[in-house]
């Protein structure tokens, strides 16, 4: 699972980001002070750092220098929206610069781009007897390729990247179809049903009442 450290001194904002990204399958830890964040980064592995600039203890620019030294890619998330601030952050080595307020869907997309850039998203995924090759975008079982539509492949990749996590229909729709779920469309359900039959996940890919779906994987 991808581990993300969120460094933000406003706890409601930090917790909102954490809860939102958790729905997409990311394991998030919140820190509210720059010094505490530096200590945590030294003790624990993270794949990505989401970093505010204005922090107590040590500011975001100082933390960026530290995160670069230990090889953790960093995205600034800040209310500082002046061009000079954005240019400074990017020139110092931040992978991206997001200005508050922002849409969670946009944040998720930017997170995925950075993780892919650093090869933290697996090129081959083996799960439930399936092999997913994210380079050739093919799926096979016992060496036999299973033909899937683009949406079915994206659905499977989403579930495989979030094993044992219940994904809301809203989340699934946003990630695969890129729009806002209106609560009535049967698109998600119909595609999941077809996917289950094609790849043989009738038992593992389960419906969660009033939520959505979960790919159950034995650990």
Residues 56, 138, single domain; the answer is no
Between the CA of residue 179 and those of 11, 77, 143, what are the distances in Å? 29, 23, 35
For residue 115, pLDDT beyond 90: no
| Residue (of 162, 160, 161, 172) closest to 201 by Cα position | 160
- Predicted pLDDT at 55: 93
The angle subtended at Cα 153 by Cα 148 and Cα 156, nearest 5°, is 120
CATH code, 189: 1.10.10.10
- Predicted pLDDT at 145: 95
- Predicted pLDDT at 158: 86
All residues at 6 or more sequence positions from 69 whose CB lies less than 8 Å from its CB, including other chains: none
Calculate mean pLDDT across residues 53-62. 92
Residues 141, 92, single domain; the answer is no
For residue 211, pLDDT beyond 80: yes
Q: Which domain holds residue 157?
A: 124-215
Number of domain units in the chain = 2
For residue 185, pLDDT beyond 80: no
Confidence of residue 101 (pLDDT cuts 50, 70, 90): confident
Residues 142, 181, single domain; the answer is yes
* Cα 100 from Cα 195, distance rounded (Å): 37
103: number of Cβ within 10 Å: 10
- Residue where a domain stops, chosen among 95, 117, 139: 117
* Cα 219 from Cα 143, distance rounded (Å): 23
Residues 10, 108, single domain; the answer is yes
CATH code, 108: 3.40.50.2300
pLDDT one-digit tens code per residue, 121-146: 556 778 899 998 876 888 999 999 99
pLDDT one-digit tens code per residue, 26-49: 889 999 999 999 999 988 889 999
Residues 75, 156, single domain; the answer is no
Calculate mean pLDDT across residues 95-105. 88
């Amino acid at each position: 699972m991808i581990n993300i450290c969120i460094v933000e001194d406003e706890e409601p904002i930090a917790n909102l980001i954490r809860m939102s990204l958790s729905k997409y399958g990311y394991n998030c830890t919140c820190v509210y002070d720059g010094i505490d964040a530096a200590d945590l980064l030294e003790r624990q592995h993270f794949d990505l750092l989401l970093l505010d600039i204005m922090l107590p203890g040590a500011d975001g620019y100082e933390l960026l220098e530290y995160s670069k030294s230990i090889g953790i890619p960093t995205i600034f998330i800040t209310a500082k929206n002046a061009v000079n601030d954005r240019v400074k952050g990017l020139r110092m080595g931040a992978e991206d610069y997001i200005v508050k307020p922002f849409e969670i869907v946009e944040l998720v997309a930017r997170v995925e781009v950075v993780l892919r850039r650093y090869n933290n998203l697996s090129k081959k995924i083996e799960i439930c007897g399936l092999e997913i090759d994210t380079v050739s975008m093919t799926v096979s079982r016992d060496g036999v390729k299973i033909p899937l539509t683009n949406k079915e492949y994206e659905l499977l990749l989403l579930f495989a990247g979030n094993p044992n996590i219940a994904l809301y229909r809203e989340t699934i729709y946003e990630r695969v179809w890129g729009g806002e779920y209106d609560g009535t469309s049967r698109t998600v359900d119909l595609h999941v049903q077809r996917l289950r039959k094609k790849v043989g996940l009738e038992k593992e890919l389960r419906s969660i009442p009033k939520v959505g779906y979960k790919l159950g994987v034995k650990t």
